[in-house]
A and B are shown apart, each in its own frame.
Chain A
Amino acid sequence: GENVEQHPSTLSVQEGDSAVIKCTYSDSASNYFPWYKQELGKRPQLIIDIRSNVGEKKDQRIAVTLNKTAKHFSLHITETQPEDSAVYFCAATPYSSASKIIFGSGTRLSIRP
């Protein structure tokens, strides 16, 4: 069935270093892949998304890459800062049911000073 797996579940990096979060999806027809950030006690908010006709997208210190052949996509955060500490969720839109998206289980990112 439709599934999105996300790794790692927790990640701790030194401030200034890079962080990478990876997700795999099961539905090869999926074509929309958003990433959401949820700070402690707040609602999830979209930080970046990518569509299946694009291999990479960047927005300042954040980038997402997509490998459709391998059915995986990754979030890259460079020059991490304390405000990057949050839970990050990947998601995918399964073509088999184009009215919803499937979320990964989340990655708790901690930035060490």
Chain B
Amino acid sequence: DAGITQSPRYKITETGRQVTLMCHQTWSHSYMFWYRQDLGHGLRLIYYSAAADITDKGEVPDGYVVSRSKTENFPLTLESATRSQTSVYFCASSRTVYNEQFFGPGTRLTVL
């Protein structure tokens, strides 16, 4: 699905560093989401956005910051990375909350 991309695909960082994960979609979908996926925990919602400049917390928002100044971009920032934030991060977008969510390829983040 070339319509939604994430960068970087892999990232290794150290505890305490700031890290930003990028997400870009070309469909002009209103809704965008950030999930983290750890073994045994499925998909856990970090933050979501219903439109540009509208964001809200999900299930596990602590330690993360998001912004959405443009409809197509939804960056996720780890302000001070911790080892517990080692995970695979998926970004997703959908036209409405009642439509299919299209997931990006994921970013594998390792915090040493």
Contact = CB atoms under 8 A, between A and B. Distances in A.
Interface of A: 31-32, 34, 36, 43-46, 49, 51, 89, 93, 98-106
Nearest to B54: A99
A106 B100 contact: no
A89 B42 contact: yes
Contacts, number: 51
B90 A43 contact: yes
B98 A93 contact: yes
Contact residues on B (Cβ < 8 Å of other chain), bracket: 20 to 34
Given A99-B50, A104-B42, A43 B105 contact: yes
B58 interface: yes
Contact of A99 (B31, B35, B104): B31
B74 interface: no
B45 interface: yes
Interface in B77-110: 90, 97-98, 100-101, 103-106
